[in-house]
């Protein structure tokens, strides 16, 4: 293990930017430059870890002992780095997009918005780099709290209702996770993540083991949008679109999925999971979520809600891959983390651009907008193709890997869901490009450049990661190898 302060600085950079952002509240340009500088710095710090962390090397920032035996520490392994790269990289892109969005939309409380955004990203990086369960829990709870001001951003009665719903789900989950973490700590004697798991099969009886797993599942499953714990996610779509894009498609929800990776691969471990039939439970939950969410998405006319249900479904792709307990499935699930992130953020960015530029948020209003906003909708088409699993977009790769690792039933679920994805995304693309635009739409041009450039960038990234997936694929395979190293499959 390499001792280095880089992980700590990476987590602190966005958090330390908050006072600066608040201090510069009367000078929007200065304030936004702080956000951008923090995002650049955080990304640079995380990226600098890529060269240092490999399958056998961790980078840690020492630890802060809370009490003998319980410590907060940041220790970056490949799994954490993987997630950290996604979160910090896409934050940088979202920064630029956000600036365009809030200004074009003339949002109020922009300072609160940017400050909370920074708090969310800092907490997410903390979740990613947490070296043990306690640290994970601390940042996970901070993330719940930091997201709240963004959900209620518009301060409309609907937003406040959604905020309550969000807090109810998030805090309940946090409490259950806390119980699970403490129970684990008392049972095992420490809280550290270890590839292959820390809970040995004989540490608890079968009943307790299952209850413990359910506690964990409820704790991290809420953020991962597992049904029936997904209710907050569509409700949270009242937040400004960049929030939906980065947090409710990438950072927050992927923290939940990341939590499942940690729980399955690093706390329980494949052996214990399999012995007590916990993998079957997880496959069932994830499979059901995939199919149901896709079906519900079909019926949504509100574009962001459709995307939200699609997110619920795709998060469960990742969970399914992990639950399969096979190397390919695990690697495929992890690869889908980054792929879904780039694709879904593209779609949300497009939805936001349509909303601020044309003031439309329903699928049925999108006739012909591809003529007015060719770049935006072109990017949308790329994201949609990718999520349906069509090459040459990165979604194809992760789906392929997932299918390789899948059992028969999982395979059927994945293929059905691919069709459903096509069924709910392609009509949008069809409407946008092949129907005649209304006069109002035809008169408008493309969205503001500061929004279009990030949109094209993430769409390009989605295609780029199809051709050059090596960095992420390599890391995903290494993690899978580490987790399954002890034996099985």
Partner 1 sequence: MRFDLLPHAPVIVPLAFLVGAMLAVLGTLFRPRWAQPLAVAVSAFATLVAAGGLVHVLAEGTIRYQLAGWRPPLGIELVMDPLSAFLTLLMAGVGLLVLIHSRPIVPRELPGRETAFYAASLLLLGGLCGLVLTGDLFNLYVFIEIVSLSSYALLGIGSKRAPFSAFRYLVMGTTAGSLYLLGLACIYMRTGTLNMADFAAIVPEVADQVPVQIGVVLLLTGLALKSALFPLHGWLPDAYTDGGSTATALIAPIGTKAALYAMLRVTYFLLGPALVADGALVADVIAYLGAAGILWGSFLAMSQRELKRMLAYSSVAQVGYIALGIGLASGYGFIGAVLHIVNHACMKACLFLVSGNLRQVVHHSYLPNIDSSVRRKMPWSMAAFSVAAVSMIGLPPTAGFFSKWYLALGTVEQGRWVLLASLLISTLLNAVYFVRVFEQIYLRPAREGAGGRPASGEAPLSMVVPTVVFAVLLLVLGVGNALLVDHLLLPMLGGGAS
Q: How far is the CB of 9 from partner 1 (least distance, A)?
A: 17
Residue closer to partner 1 (CB basis): 85 or 243:
243
Alpha helices in 189-302 (DSSP H): 206-221, 232-235, 241-246, 252-261, 269-275, 278-298
With respect to partner 1, which residue has the nearer C-beta, 139 or 380? 139
Enclosing H/E stretch for 75: strand 70-76
Q: How many residues does the chain have?
A: 489
Angle between helices 303-323 and 327-358 (to 10 degrees): 170
Q: How far is CA 260 from CA 135, 354, 453, in A?
A: 15, 34, 34
Of 146 and 473, the one with the shorter C-beta distance to partner 1 is: 146
Residue 3 backbone phi and psi in degrees, to 5: -85, 125
Nearer to partner 1, 13 or 376 (CB): 13
Please check whether residue 227 is in contact with residue 313, taking contact to mean a CB–CB distance below 8 angstroms. no
CB nearer to partner 1: give 38 or 167.
Answer: 167
Shortest distance, position 250 Cβ to partner 1, whole Å: 22
- Do residues 328 and 401 lie in contact, with contact meaning Cβ atoms separated by under 8 Å? yes
Residue 72 CB, shortest distance to partner 1, in Å, is 9
With vertex at residue 457, the alpha carbon angle to CA 109 and CA 441, rounded to the nearest 5 degrees, is: 70
Strand pairing report for 70-76 and 2-3: unpaired
Which of residues 67 and 443 has its CB atom nearest to partner 1 in the complex?
67
- Smallest gap, in angstroms, from Cβ of residue 155 to partner 1? 5
What string of DSSP letters covers 328-357?
A: HHHHHHHHHHHHHHHHHHHHHHHHHHHHHH
Please say which residue, 149 or 333, places its beta carbon nearer to partner 1.
149
Q: Can you give the binding site for partner 1, defined by CB under 8 A? A: 64-68, 70, 137-139, 141-142, 144-145, 152, 155, 160, 163-164, 167, 171-172, 174-176, 178-179, 182-183, 185-186
Residue 183 or 433: which CB sits closer to partner 1? 183
CB nearer partner 1, residue 68 or residue 443:
68
Q: State whether residue 395 is helix, strand or coil.
A: helix
Strand order in the sheet with 2-3: 2-3, 59-67, 70-76
Of the two residues 238 and 282, which places its CB atom closer to partner 1 in the complex?
238
Which structure tokens are listed for 112?
Answer: 């609160």
Residue 422 in contact with residue 358, Cβ under 8 Å? no
- Tokens at residue 399, please? 């789906």
What are the residues whose beta carbons fall under 8 Å from the beta carbon of 401, sequence distance 6 or more? Answer: 321, 328, 329, 331, 332, 335
Least distance from partner 1 to the Cβ atom of residue 134, Å: 8
**Which residue is it, tokens 């699993």?**
389
CA distance 121 to 45: 14
Please report how close the Cβ of residue 186 comes to partner 1 at its closest, in angstroms: 5
- Least spacing, CB of residue 25 vs partner 1, in Å: 11
Radius of gyration of the chain (CA): 21
Least Cβ distance, residue 204 to partner 1 (angstroms) = 12
Closer to partner 1 by CB, 71 or 271: give it.
Answer: 71
- Residue 64 CB, nearest approach to partner 1 (Å): 7
For the bound state, the minimum distance from the C-beta of residue 223 to partner 1, rounded and expressed in Å, comes to 15
Taking residue 364's Cβ as centre, other Cβ atoms within 10 Å add up to 11
CB 12 to partner 1: min, Å: 12
């Amino acid at each position: 293990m390499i001792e280095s302060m880089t992980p700590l600085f990476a987590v602190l950079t966005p958090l330390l930017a908050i006072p600066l952002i608040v201090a510069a509240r009367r000078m929007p340009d200065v304030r936004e430059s702080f956000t951008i500088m923090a995002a650049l710095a955080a990304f640079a710090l995380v990226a600098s870890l890529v060269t240092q962390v490999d399958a056998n090397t961790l980078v840690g920032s020492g630890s802060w002992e809370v009490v003998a035996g319980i410590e907060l520490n940041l220790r970056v392994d490949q799994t954490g780095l993987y997630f950290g790269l996604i979160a910090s990289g896409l934050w940088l892109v979202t920064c630029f997009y956000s600036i365009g969005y809030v200004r074009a939309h003339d949002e109020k409380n922009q300072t609160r918005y940017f400050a909370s955004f920074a708090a969310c990203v800092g907490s997410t990086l903390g979740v990613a780099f947490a070296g043990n369960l306690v640290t994970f829990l601390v940042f996970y709870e901070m993330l719940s709290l930091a997201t709240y001001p963004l959900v209620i951003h518009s301060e409309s009665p609907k937003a406040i209702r959604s905020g309550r719903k969000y807090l109810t789900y998030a805090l309940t989950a946090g409490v259950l996770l806390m119980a699970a973490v403490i129970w684990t700590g008392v049972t095992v004697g420490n809280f550290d993540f270890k590839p292959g798991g820390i809970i040995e099969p004989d540490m608890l009886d079968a009943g307790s083991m299952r209850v413990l797993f359910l506690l964990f599942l409820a704790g991290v499953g809420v953020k991962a949008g597992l049904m029936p714990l997904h209710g907050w996610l569509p409700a949270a779509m009242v937040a400004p679109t960049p929030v939906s894009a980065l947090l409710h498609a990438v950072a927050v929800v992927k923290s939940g999925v990341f939590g499942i990776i940690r729980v399955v691969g690093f706390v329980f471990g494949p052996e214990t999971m399999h012995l007590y039939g916990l993998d079957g439970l997880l496959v069932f939950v994830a499979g059901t979520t995939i199919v149901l969410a896709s079906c519900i998405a079909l019926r949504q006319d509100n574009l962001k809600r459709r995307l939200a249900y699609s997110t619920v479904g795709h998060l469960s792709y990742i969970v399914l891959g992990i639950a399969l307990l096979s190397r390919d499935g695990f690697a495929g699930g992890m690869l889908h983390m980054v792929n879904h992130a780039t694709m879904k953020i593209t779609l949300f960015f497009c939805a936001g651009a349509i909303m601020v530029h044309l003031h439309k948020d329903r699928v049925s209003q999108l006739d012909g907008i591809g003529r007015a906003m060719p770049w935006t909708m072109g990017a949308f088409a790329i994201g949609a193709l990718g999520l349906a699993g069509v090459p040459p977009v990165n979604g194809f790769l992760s789906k392929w890997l997932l299918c390789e690792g899948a059992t028969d039933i999982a395979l059927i679920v994945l293929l059905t869901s691919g069709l459903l994805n096509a069924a709910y995304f392609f009509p949008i693309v069809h409407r946008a490009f092949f129907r005649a635009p209304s006069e109002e739409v035809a008169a408008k041009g493309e969205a503001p450049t500061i929004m279009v450039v990030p949109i094209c960038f993430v769409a390009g990234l989605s295609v780029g990661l199809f051709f050059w997936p090596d960095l992420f694929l390599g890391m995903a395979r290494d993690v899978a190898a580490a987790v399954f190293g002890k034996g099985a499959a």
